[in-house]
Amino acid sequence: MATLLPELIFEILSRTSLETLEQCKSVSKDWKQIIYDPTFIPLHSLRTNSLFGYFFQTLKSSNYRSAFVSTAAGAIESTWPRCDGVEILASCDQGILICERQICCRNKRFYACKPATAQWQPLPNPKLRYQTKAVAVVVARSHPLRYVIVRLYALGSQLHCEIFDSERWRWEKIIECSPPYGEIVMNGSPSVTTAGRFVHWLTLNDSVLTLDVEKRRFRCSALPGCLPKSRWTWPRLVEYEGELGFMCQVEEKEMEVWSNGKKKAVVNMRDTGLQHPVAVEFCSSNVVFITSMEGGGFYNLQNRSFSKVEVPYDLRIPLQVFRFRSDTQIVHLNPSQHHNNKIHLSCSM
């Protein structure tokens, strides 16, 4: 059987949908390397009219403010709420955000939204009397859309978990298998999803708490690196070429990325020429997204080039940064409804 040339595979993959692209990562190691090539994401976004960027979020005077930053952010800027009070809780690579909105006094409401199509769907609220520690969202199926929201909340020193399945349209507590006692996720530490079903959090005990969304089971494991704790600071879980990775600072202005016990990359922050740079995550094998006092951008480790993106001044020291990738197809955020969920949030809601 004849094999396709890598150049031809690149051309085919750069025109496929986001949904199919996720499946293509598991076809072969060669296909996976093509998808994580530094030149792939920009070209794929252009050819498929999809969006790739980041939501920056900050908290000022008890109000959350966020904005989408990208090399082409205009499509979302026109529909994203300009008023304060919408807190982004979680994002995923299929264009879905989970948000919380304070509607009056202390009352809050959960929403699922697809910013690329300006769709907002009110959700049943979870047990908001208990402090939320972490939220994640996973798209379990694209056609028809089915998404799962995971919420970890604390009762004393014990974490509990409840899950919202869009097919069942209700929150359910996982009683039979709670997170291990004493494992608390780090505040502000973003979740990382791998293989479309495993959600990972970094804990205060320097472990990885993982939830298998399909089987609804937790497990704790060691960090995906082999550095002694005395050698690193500023720990962060990241996705690296589809696998769980661990990024940390090992020397002043130098970051390392580890996965499966091997060092995968070194980022010398001095080479960026930025003031107070912070590495957020790897977009591809050799491109890392960086924030700084001057804004943000994409730094290529191979040629040491930096592609800057404009960031509003008051968001240049963000509280959180959420990766966002989306197509522009209308979806049904509520399976029982067949309209397009276009609800524009107003400041008076």
Q: Are residues 205 and 338 in the same domain?
A: yes
Q: Are residues 42 and 150 in the same domain?
A: no
Distance between CA 100 and CA 135 in Å, rounded?
Answer: 11
Q: In what side-by-side order are the strands of the sheet with 287-292?
A: 278-282, 287-292, 295-300, 306-309
Q: Examine residue 157 and state whether it is found in any structural domain, yes or no.
A: yes
Q: Are residues 269 and 250 in the same domain?
A: yes
Question: Average pLDDT for residues 273-281, to the nearest whole number?
Answer: 85
Q: Are residues 172 and 271 in the same domain?
A: no
Q: Pick from 32-41, 254-263, 332-341 the range whose average pLDDT is largest.
A: 254-263
Q: Examine residue 349 and state whether it is found in any structural domain, yes or no.
A: no
Q: Examine residue 347 and state whether it is found in any structural domain, yes or no.
A: no
Question: Average pLDDT for residues 55-60, to the nearest whole number?
Answer: 91
Q: Examine residue 212 and state whether it is found in any structural domain, yes or no.
A: yes
Q: Examine residue 327 and state whether it is found in any structural domain, yes or no.
A: yes
**DSSP one-letter string for 318-330:** -SEEEEEEE----
Query: How far from chain centre, in Å, is Cα 349?
Result: 27
pLDDT in tens, 113-135: 999 999 999 999 998 888 889 99
pLDDT at residue 260, as a whole number: 87
Q: Examine residue 348 and state whether it is found in any structural domain, yes or no.
A: no
Distance between CA 212 and CA 231 in Å, rounded?
Answer: 31
Q: Examine residue 2 and state whether it is found in any structural domain, yes or no.
A: no
Q: What is the pTM of this model?
A: 0.89
Q: Are residues 126 and 206 in the same domain?
A: yes
Q: Are residues 253 and 167 in the same domain?
A: no
Q: Are residues 96 and 237 in the same domain?
A: no
Q: Are residues 71 and 176 in the same domain?
A: yes
Phi and psi at residue 160, to the nearest 5°: -125, 160
Helix (H) or strand (E) holding 287: strand 287-292
Which range of residues forms the domain containing residue 33? 9-48
Q: Are residues 100 and 183 in the same domain?
A: yes
pLDDT at residue 125, as a whole number: 92
Q: Is 111 left (phi over 0), alpha (psi -120 to 50) or beta?
A: beta
Q: Are residues 246 and 308 in the same domain?
A: yes
Distance between CA 117 and CA 138 in Å, rounded?
Answer: 19
Question: Average pLDDT for residues 242-246, to the nearest whole number?
Answer: 91
Return the bridge partners of 100, or none: 87, 110
Query: Which of these ranges, 2-6, 112-116, 256-260, 318-322, has the smallest mean pLDDT?
Result: 2-6
Is the pLDDT at 338 greater than 70? The verdict is no
Question: Average pLDDT for residues 236-253, to the nearest whole number?
Answer: 87
Question: Average pLDDT for residues 26-35, to the nearest whole number?
Answer: 81
DSSP tag of 78: T
pLDDT at residue 82, as a whole number: 63
Q: Are residues 186 and 324 in the same domain?
A: yes
Query: Which of these ranges, 150-154, 187-191, 224-228, 273-277, has the smallest mean pLDDT?
Result: 224-228
Query: Which of these ranges, 149-158, 184-193, 262-271, 316-325, has the smallest mean pLDDT?
Result: 184-193
Model confidence at 73, pLDDT cuts 50, 70, 90, reads low
What is the tally of structural domains in the chain? 3
pLDDT at residue 224, as a whole number: 81
Q: Are residues 64 and 200 in the same domain?
A: yes
